[in-house]
Structure 1
Amino acid sequence: MPDGPALLVIGECVADIVRLPDAPDRIHPGGSPANVAYGLARLGLGTTLITQLGQDSDGRLIEDHLASAGVRVLTDGSGAPTPAATVRLDEAGRAAYTFEITWTLGAVELSGAPPEHVHTGSVATALEPGAASVLGLVRSLREVATVSYDPNVRPGLMGDHAGAVRRAERCVELSDVVKASDEDLRWLYPDEEPEEAAARWLRSGPAVVLVTRGAAGAVAFLPGATVSIGAPRVRVADTVGAGDAFMSGTLHALASYGLLGAQGRARLRSLDGAVLGDVLRRAVASAAVTVARAGALPPDEEELEEALTSAPVPEH
């Protein structure tokens, strides 16, 4: 049996159709929440994913992929087609997405003991009518579980800007841990520096807000303190799933310190810079493994430990 807390991830699965110049298409299992669930299970944590999957070849591919890591998959049985995203990579491996997706998540019955931590974000919290279902489920579990959120902004799916900001801020207020990229924050708050937006989010409720900055590394905000870290130097295959691997690495590290779950919430809210620095090291090392190979393939525990030997030192 996996060690550590039981984790629940709520959100979309997506078939990523990866297109490179002068090369045949490749189809990879994807979707930000699904990638996080897969990464958590690869790191040995018991993980359940609530999602939508169609009865089609893409759905079977994704379900088999998740099962290979030990993810328990629960669906609403709606039969909606499996969402797809065309991922175009430039010469540096940077990804741009075009989506074909509906998100109509209905009721899903959770059996057994409630989860100790809930993660959500991305399209699942932005696209109605399913976003309302996700928010309701997170609220219902908030007393028994810690919560993490990653907006993972996809501009073409966010709807009107003001509504997207309101939805994101509602999720931030419910969360203990928030992760966003600097690009996410620039889209949400074009007249504000990402660091200023992250600090303001911190004041609205989370214990910690983490901002990823691509090749520049990441910075984390605590009340009264910040911790930053550079990115490990690796040869980039592509950036697909890098932020999701950072998120699963973060949660795995927090779990190892006993900082998840209702019993860990008070300790999480008194997190010190030294522990947070180690969490960041594990998060950037996890992302580095992922960008060094094609597709959203995060590390297992052995690969993460190896990557940590060359991870940078955080700055307080």
Structure 2
Amino acid sequence: MFLICGEALFDFFGDNTPGDNVAFDARIGGSPFNVAMGLARLGEEAGFFGGISRDALGERLVAKFRAEGVSERYILRTDYLTTLSLVQKDANGSPAYTFYGANAADRMVTEADLPDFDTPPAFLHVGSYTALVEPVAGALKTLIEREKTHTLISFDPNIRPTVVPDMGQWRQNTEVLVPLTDLIKVSDEDLELIAPGEPVAGIARKWLADGAGLVIVTRGGDGATAFMSGLEVDCPGIKVTVEDTVGAGDTFQAALLAGLKQLGVSDRKALESLRQDSLERLVEFAVKAAAITCSRRGADLPRRAELEKEWSALK
């Protein structure tokens, strides 16, 4: 099983309506939520561990997981409220973000809430703000340390300045997590936020030296570069008519994890033994998956049938 840990929330997109009323279009969101859904759509056994409210919005989140085939077994239902992220345009037409997450269900997870497994997950993924804010961040670090010897650990920093504006905290937290993880996927935009001006390859090589086995840096429409010890693979982007980029990074992450399983990578030794040609096919697969998501509105992640050719080519 792939166990995806973190937040599940609602994004409220506001329209500039006249008068006293404000109209919102509410969409299910949260990077870990999308990754879990993306894995299920790729035909993988995916479960979600995180706090989800018993409120009306929380019921919608769980119902979506149920419809997508994501396991509910490790979901922690609580009476804390669902996190809300409000997105409205300011006077200049630029998006203005307001985050309502203090004491919300997804961050009020403690070590006492950690699940026990009959069979440990093959992959455990963490990321975004639940890897930073307390108490959930401390609980997830404990879970990683507990499961690391028999589970591949994946991490996506997924920096969110609207949640925590202090980039120093994000960088420090990332540096704490790097030695605990096997696979890191990070965007060049995130690296520019926490390490402005630093060469991407230098950061990736440092993370490898600190303990990571594979570091992949995504560059939006320009593709992605994968770094391993003594190996660097660059994959160009795929030209598509971009509808929007919502969920593209999460699609890449889900495809990356599913692709590793397809390649037979089930432990750290197998990860470190990846050949260059296998790594190239893996990154190409994830880039293609992300391109599909960019070609349609919202976090509409692709299904296995849409990537059958690339999936078959992985082995």
- Structure 1 length-normalised TM: 0.87
Contact 1:179 1:247 in 2 (8 A): yes
Contact 1:95 1:239 in 2 (8 A): no
Q: What's the secondary structure of 2:241's corresponding residue?
A: coil
1:8 pairs with one of 3, 6, 28: 3
Displacement of 1:86 in angstroms is 2.6
Contact 2:114 2:139 in 1 (8 A): no
Displacement of 1:173 in angstroms is 1.0
CA RMSD in angstroms comes to 2.4
Equivalent residue, structure 2, for 1:252: 258
Structure 1 position 301 matched with structure 2 position 300? no
Equivalent residue, structure 2, for 1:105: 109
The letter for the 1-side match of 2:85 is A
Q: What's the secondary structure of 1:76's corresponding residue?
A: strand
Q: What's the secondary structure of 2:62's corresponding residue?
A: helix
The letter for the 2-side match of 1:8 is L
Displacement of 1:158 in angstroms is 3.1
**CA distance, structure 2, for counterparts of residue 44 and residue 251 of structure 1:** 12
1:88–1:231: structure 2 CA closer, same or farther, 3 Å change rule?
farther
Displacement of 1:194 in angstroms is 2.5
Contact 2:248 2:293 in 1 (8 A): yes
Equivalent residue, structure 2, for 1:122: 128
Displacement of 1:97 in angstroms is 4.9
Equivalent residue, structure 2, for 1:314: none
1:97–1:216: structure 2 CA closer, same or farther, 3 Å change rule?
farther
1:254–1:95: structure 2 CA closer, same or farther, 3 Å change rule?
farther
Contact 1:186 1:193 in 2 (8 A): no
- Structure 2 length-normalised TM: 0.87
1:301–1:150: structure 2 CA closer, same or farther, 3 Å change rule?
same
The letter for the 2-side match of 1:233 is K
The letter for the 2-side match of 1:302 is A
The letter for the 1-side match of 2:108 is T
**CA distance, structure 1, for counterparts of residue 163 and residue 240 of structure 2:** 31
Contact 2:8 2:28 in 1 (8 A): yes
1:193 pairs with one of 186, 195, 199: 199
Displacement of 1:248 in angstroms is 0.2
Displacement of 1:203 in angstroms is 1.5
The letter for the 1-side match of 2:133 is L
Contact 2:132 2:173 in 1 (8 A): yes
Displacement of 1:157 in angstroms is 2.3
Equivalent residue, structure 2, for 1:291: 294
**CA distance, structure 1, for counterparts of residue 96 and residue 285 of structure 2:** 26
The letter for the 2-side match of 1:227 is V
**CA distance, structure 2, for counterparts of residue 96 and residue 257 of structure 1:** 42
Contact 1:76 1:108 in 2 (8 A): no
Q: How does 1:1-316 map to 2 (within 5 A)?
A: 6-19=1-14, 25-73=24-72, 74-87=74-87, 97-102=97-102, 103-106=107-110, 107-158=113-164, 160-260=166-266, 264-305=267-308, 308=310
The letter for the 2-side match of 1:295 is G
Contact 1:43 1:252 in 2 (8 A): yes
Please give the per-residue CA displacement for 1:148-191, whole angstroms capped at 9, x wherever unaligned. Answer: 00000002323643332221112111111100000111111124
Displacement of 1:49 in angstroms is 0.4
Displacement of 1:70 in angstroms is 1.0
User: Where does the alignment leave 5 or more consecutive residues of structure 2 unmatched?
Assistant: none
The letter for the 1-side match of 2:161 is P
Displacement of 1:304 in angstroms is 2.1
Contact 1:289 1:304 in 2 (8 A): no
Tell me the matched-pair count.
298
Mean Cα deviation higher: 151-160 or 217-226: 151-160
**CA distance, structure 2, for counterparts of residue 89 and residue 266 of structure 1:** 48
Displacement of 1:276 in angstroms is 0.7
**CA distance, structure 2, for counterparts of residue 8 and residue 211 of structure 1:** 22
Contact 1:18 1:89 in 2 (8 A): no
**CA distance, structure 2, for counterparts of residue 96 and residue 298 of structure 1:** 25
The letter for the 2-side match of 1:84 is L
**CA distance, structure 2, for counterparts of residue 95 and residue 166 of structure 1:** 28
1:233–1:25: structure 2 CA closer, same or farther, 3 Å change rule?
farther
Contact 2:11 2:27 in 1 (8 A): yes
Q: Percent identity?
A: 34
**CA distance, structure 2, for counterparts of residue 97 and residue 213 of structure 1:** 23
Please give the per-residue CA displacement for 1:125-169, whole angstroms capped at 9, x wherever unaligned. Answer: 011121101111111110110100000000232364333222111
Displacement of 1:268 in angstroms is 0.6
Mean Cα deviation higher: 77-86 or 177-186: 77-86
Please give the per-residue CA displacement for 1:214-272, whole angstroms capped at 9, x wherever unaligned. Answer: 11111111112211112211111111111000000000100001113xxx321111212
